[in-house]
């Protein structure tokens, strides 16, 4: 139904008069609360958008807090519009749930749901299910839905994990153990981890869950004809703002008799020392990080690898990077081998460069389960493990997935023994946008200990060299040390908050540790031959990761010069997260209530929901107000020098039977309404109208009415002392003004809707453009579509709010039927500057006559 007709409809059943008045008051109280929540959300959105510009620092607690408050307020708005208008608005709950699901997919640690299925096949999963099955499983389901080949399988959901903890009464024990933990103490981490993992491994799997897993396993093996499967961790919150790369366990080539044991081991890996350190050091709540497990067909990989759809250190380049080895992928992501690296141009997928490494061994599935190391034939060790056809296929796939997710991706893949491509994972890729550095100091006279290798994270760091080879050796790492290791083992992540740089002898930019150091911005070089022998334990060195060179001694000027190598604000993951969340919260698609698409089911963002609810709330209030306004016993008439009858409902005053209240121009008991009306009075009623015969009356449903009635029908105001909601019918356009005016600037706002007109479309649009510019000069934010404008000013000091209300009242009178006069852009510009002078809104450059 047309929004103006919605506002003007008045065919409700009158019923009991007094009861209806009380009902209106109750609805209005709900509407006032709706307006307050609406304003609260708009304020939060404004603050989040300001932070997203990169000029202020904030953390994940700020993001989570803002999102929680927005979600809560929007949920209240939905409850209130249903209270006001009834169950016809229940559709908003479904839209809210869908948008909230997408938000939870992005926000780490958002799993606080209960219930749900214990098992979900990949065919039933997509990325909106990440709060149920974790990021890894959700993306496998999403890629399957895109028609891409992923291993057949199913997910044991987060609900299964929660059931496991509940049935074994482990929740309280886990929380108590973590509360007493000092994460800076390595031994505390080891002790807490040992206790929690032992409890989980000793606890029985609830029979309902165990039977569901076994049944799904039987169905999977029946479909594939293969008895051995892969079990992969897929925690809720993984692969969001925080990667959790390499923090949890996965098992390949698992037999039926090992299935439940390996499932329990994956659950226990949530409490490994490095996993506990990771989520607590990032201020994530353990209860929001439930563990799901993916159970898939085992892919016997001839070659496997990782695709970066962008260069992590140069995301503006037009190349896809592929890292690959023979056999299964753990030897690549775990840093055991240095992979082949291929650079593929995104346009045409031509291979631009190849770096082929010696690959002496490969990991393969063992005949009876598990994996085993095999030597690579001598003639193949230094041969490319991917051909040009496969690389072109991977390049095309990379671009497709990046476009789908609208973000650079980190993709794991495998080619089986028959040459079929399987996708194993896709997650957001962390990139670093480089910036111009300070002038580098002259290092020509200083001793270079080692050069070469691959930059994983740019920058420079200095400190004492500490060799690490095990978790126990990490205890020797102190603040500011340089860690040197044979390979990039993920447990180094336990000390990344202490180290100034990392150097390893093997590895690549595609390992789990690479993701962690980029997240922490730790200067890192991998592939430095004989690093442990060339960098003695205890020696002080300066690691120039950007220049892949290591110098003896301290060189603070080099460290400082490398600091601006990346933009500390614009490209950090926290800013990226906030911007991605804002895409689901802030954009306004529900602009014009007159559009056919202005429907609850078309709300795509939380802003859409509050905009739709606010508009429908106005319509519901006016509908009920009009049904009472038709009765002489209710409301008051505004007796004015303006020929505009306005029926006023003052919800602060009780109705007295038999008394007919009358207000004059100076006695309105609403401060914002009085200010607005004063502005209208100041301009007086413009009687010099264009010839009525020129009006396109056929465009208006009231075309058959006398001209006097066309200009005076259907004007109402609902008021309180500090609030007004006025609906004025002025000829062929409709104006709605809502405002609150008090001493608290946080509550003050003015909102104006302006729609319609009697002239041709082009002239009506010119009037809207005039209003747009003048209201912009008054400080209003505005949204325009065709001949409709929605303007808002909020958080105004009282004096400014009073002035703007008067200006809005004057503008209503100044623009009445003005569309008839706006025959061209030059005349429109003249009126803009003329009105600007009258309203004291003059532009620096006046219109030249």
pLDDT top residue among 564 and 312 = 312
**E strands within 572-731?**
636-639, 647-650, 661-664, 716-720, 723-730
Together in a domain, 407 and 454: no
Could you say which of 540, 566, 592 is where a domain stops?
A: 566
| CATH number for the domain that contains residue 548 | 3.50.30.10
826 within some domain: yes
467 within some domain: yes
662 within some domain: yes
Give residue 391's pLDDT band: very low, low, confident or very high (50, 70, 90): very high
Q: Are 138 and 241 in contact (CB under 8 A)?
A: no
Q: What are the pLDDT digits (tens) for 60-81?
A: 667 878 898 999 999 999 999 9
802 within some domain: yes
Give residue 203's pLDDT band: very low, low, confident or very high (50, 70, 90): very high
Together in a domain, 643 and 739: yes
Q: What does the pLDDT read at residue 587? A: 87
**E strands within 227-290?**
229-235, 250-254
Q: Which residues of 490-524 are buried (b: 16+ CB within 10 A; e: fewer)?
A: bbbbbbbebbbbbbbbbbbbbbbbbbbbbbebbbb
Together in a domain, 775 and 732: yes
Together in a domain, 394 and 484: no
Residue 455 pLDDT > 60, yes or no?
A: yes
Together in a domain, 560 and 679: no
Together in a domain, 406 and 475: no
Give residue 435's pLDDT band: very low, low, confident or very high (50, 70, 90): low
pLDDT top residue among 286 and 560 = 560
Q: What does the pLDDT read at residue 584? A: 93
Could you say which of 396, 416, 436 is where a domain stops?
A: 416
Residue 234 pLDDT > 80, yes or no?
A: yes
Q: What does the pLDDT read at residue 394? A: 96
Q: Are 672 and 756 in contact (CB under 8 A)?
A: no
Could you say which of 550, 566, 582 is where a domain stops?
A: 566
* Full residue range of the structural domain in which residue 453 is found: 448-566
Q: What are the pLDDT digits (tens) for 100-132?
A: 888 877 775 554 455 679 999 999 988 777 778
Together in a domain, 400 and 467: no
Together in a domain, 540 and 653: no
Q: How far apart, in whole angstroms, are the C-alpha atoms of residue 783 and residue 785? A: 7
Q: What are the pLDDT digits (tens) for 530-546?
A: 999 999 999 999 999 98
Together in a domain, 409 and 554: no
Give residue 43's pLDDT band: very low, low, confident or very high (50, 70, 90): confident
392 within some domain: yes
Residue 395 pLDDT > 50, yes or no?
A: yes
**97-106, 285-294, 439-448: which range is least confident on average?**
285-294
CB proximity list for 5: less than 8 A, separation 6 or greater:
701
Q: How far apart, in whole angstroms, are the C-alpha atoms of residue 382 and residue 326? A: 11
CB proximity list for 33: less than 8 A, separation 6 or greater:
76, 80
For helices 259-269 and 207-224, the axis angle rounded to 10 degrees is 120
Q: Give how many domains the chain has, as a whole number.
A: 3
Residue 725 pLDDT > 90, yes or no?
A: no
Q: What are the pLDDT digits (tens) for 397-432?
A: 999 999 998 889 999 999 999 999 999 999 888 777
666 within some domain: yes
Q: What are the pLDDT digits (tens) for 780-831?
A: 888 787 778 888 887 789 999 999 999 999 999 998 888 888 889 999 999 9
| CATH number for the domain that contains residue 316 | 3.30.470.20
Work out the average pLDDT over 835-849.
65
Q: How far apart, in whole angstroms, are the C-alpha atoms of residue 538 and residue 341? A: 33
CB proximity list for 786: less than 8 A, separation 6 or greater:
592, 761, 764, 765, 768
Q: How far apart, in whole angstroms, are the C-alpha atoms of residue 339 and residue 726? A: 70
Q: What does the pLDDT read at residue 573? A: 58
Residue 266 pLDDT > 90, yes or no?
A: yes
Rounded to 5°, angle at Cα 659 from 657 and 660: 125
Q: What does the pLDDT read at residue 493? A: 81
**195-204, 215-224, 682-691: which range is least confident on average?**
682-691
Residue 275 pLDDT > 60, yes or no?
A: yes
110 within some domain: no
Q: What are the pLDDT digits (tens) for 162-193?
A: 999 999 999 888 888 888 877 777 788 888 88
Per the prediction, the chain carries an average pLDDT of 83
Residue 1 pLDDT > 50, yes or no?
A: no
Together in a domain, 639 and 742: yes
State residue 203 phi and psi, 5-degree precision: -85, 140
Together in a domain, 527 and 384: no
Work out the average pLDDT over 592-607.
87
The owner of tokens 């495998």 is 414
Together in a domain, 515 and 366: no
% the chain with pLDDT above 90:
45
The owner of tokens 């992979």 is 339
Work out the average pLDDT over 192-205.
92
Q: What does the pLDDT read at residue 713? A: 46
Q: What does the pLDDT read at residue 300? A: 95
Q: How far apart, in whole angstroms, are the C-alpha atoms of residue 256 and residue 279? A: 32
* Tokens, residue 59: 């953390």
288 within some domain: no
């Amino acid at each position: 139904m047309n929004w103006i007709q919605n506002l003007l409809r008045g065919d409700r059943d009158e019923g009991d008069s007094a009861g209806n008045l009380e009902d209106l008051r109750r609805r209005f109280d709900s509407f006032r609360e709706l307006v307050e929540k609406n304003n609260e959300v708009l304020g939060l959105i404004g603050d989040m958008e300001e932070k997203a510009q990169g000029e202020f620092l904030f953390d994940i607690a700020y993001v989570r807090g803002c999102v929680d408050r927005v979600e809560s307020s929007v949920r209240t708005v939905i409850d209130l519009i249903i209270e006001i208008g009834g169950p016809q608005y229940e559709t908003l709950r479904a839209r809210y749930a869908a948008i909230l699901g997408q938000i939870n997919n992005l926000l780490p640690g958002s799993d606080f749901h209960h219930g749900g299925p214990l098992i979900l096949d990949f065919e039933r999963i997509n990325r909106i299910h990440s709060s149920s099955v974790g990021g890894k499983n959700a993306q496998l389901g999403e890629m399957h839905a895109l028609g891409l080949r992923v291993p057949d399988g199913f997910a044991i959901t987060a609900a299964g994990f929660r059931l496991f903890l509940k049935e074994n009464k482990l929740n309280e024990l886990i929380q108590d153990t973590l509360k007493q933990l000092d994460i800076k103490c390595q031994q505390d981490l080891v002790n807490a981890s040992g206790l929690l993992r032992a409890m989980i491994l000793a606890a029985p799997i609830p029979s309902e869950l165990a039977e569901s897993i076994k049944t799904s396993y039987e169905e999977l093996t029946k479909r594939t004809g293969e008895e051995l499967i892969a079990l992969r961790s897929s925690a809720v919150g993984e692969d969001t703002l925080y990667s959790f790369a390499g923090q949890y366990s996965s098992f390949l080539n698992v037999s039926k008799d090992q299935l439940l044991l390996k499932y329990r081991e994956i659950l226990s890996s949530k409490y490994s020392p490095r996993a506990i350190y990771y989520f607590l050091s990032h201020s994530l709540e353990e209860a929001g990080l439930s563990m799901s497990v993916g159970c898939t067909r085992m892919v016997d990989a001839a070659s496997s690898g990782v695709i970066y759809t962008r260069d992590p250190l140069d995301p503006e380049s037009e190349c896809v990077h592929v890292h690959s080895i023979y056999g299964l992928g753990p030897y690549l992501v775990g840093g055991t081998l240095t992979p082949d690296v291929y650079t593929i141009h995104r346009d045409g997928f031509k291979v631009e460069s190849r770096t082929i490494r010696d690959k002496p061994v490969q990991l393969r599935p063992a005949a009876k389960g598990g994996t085993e190391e095999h030597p690579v034939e001598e003639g193949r060790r230094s041969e490319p493990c991917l051909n040009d056809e496969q690389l072109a296929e991977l390049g095309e796939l990379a671009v497709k997935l990046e476009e789908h997710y609208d973000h650079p991706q980190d993709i794991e893949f495998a080619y089986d023994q028959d040459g079929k491509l399987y996708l194993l994972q896709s997650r957001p890729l962390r990139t670093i946008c480089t910036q111009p550095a300070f002038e580098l100091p002259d290092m020509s006279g200083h001793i270079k200990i080692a050069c070469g290798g691959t930059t994983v994270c740019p920058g420079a760091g200095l400190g004492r060299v500490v060799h690490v080879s095990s978790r126990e050796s990490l205890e020797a790492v102190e603040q500011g040390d340089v860690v040197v290791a044979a390979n990039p083992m993920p447990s180094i992540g336990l000390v990344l908050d202490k180290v100034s740089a990392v150097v390893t002898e093997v590895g690549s930019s595609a390992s789990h540790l690479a993701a962690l150091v980029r997240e922490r911005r730790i200067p890192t070089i991998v592939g430095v031959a004989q690093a442990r022998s060339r960098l003695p334990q205890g020696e002080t060195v300066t690691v120039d990761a950007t220049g892949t060179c290591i110098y003896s001694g301290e060189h603070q000027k080099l460290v400082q010069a490398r600091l601006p190598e990346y933009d500390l604000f614009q490209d950090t993951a926290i800013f990226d997260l906030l911007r991605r969340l804002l895409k689901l919260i802030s954009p306004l698609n529900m602009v014009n209530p007159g559009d056919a698409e202005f429907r609850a089911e078309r709300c795509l963002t939380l802003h859409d929901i509050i905009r739709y609810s606010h508009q429908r709330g106005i319509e519901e209030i006016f509908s009920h107000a009009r049904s009472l306004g038709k009765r002489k016993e209710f409301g008051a008439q505004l007796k004015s020098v303006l020929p505009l009858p306005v029926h006023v409902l003052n919800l602060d005053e009780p109705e007295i039977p038999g008394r007919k209240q009358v207000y004059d121009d100076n006695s309105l008991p609403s401060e914002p309404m009085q200010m607005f009306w004063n502005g209208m009075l100041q301009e007086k009623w413009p009687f010099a109208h264009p010839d009525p015969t020129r009006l396109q009356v056929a465009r208006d449903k009231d075309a058959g009415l006398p001209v006097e009635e066309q200009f005076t029908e259907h004007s109402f105001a609902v008021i309180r002392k500090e609030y007004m909601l006025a609906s004025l019918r002025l000829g062929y356009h409709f104006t709605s003004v809502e405002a609150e005016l008090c001493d608290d600037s946080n509550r003050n706002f003015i909102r104006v809707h302006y729609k319609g007109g009697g002239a041709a479309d082009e002239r009506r649009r010119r009037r809207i453009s005039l209003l747009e510019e003048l209201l912009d000069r008054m400080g209003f934010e505005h949204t325009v579509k065709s001949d409709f404008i929605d303007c808002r000013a909020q958080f105004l000091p009282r004096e400014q709010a009073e002035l703007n209300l008067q200006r809005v009242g004057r503008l209503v009178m100044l623009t009445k039927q003005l569309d008839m006069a706006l025959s061209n852009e030059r005349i429109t510009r003249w009126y803009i500057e003329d009105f600007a002078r009258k309203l004291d809104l003059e532009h620096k450059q006046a219109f030249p006559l």
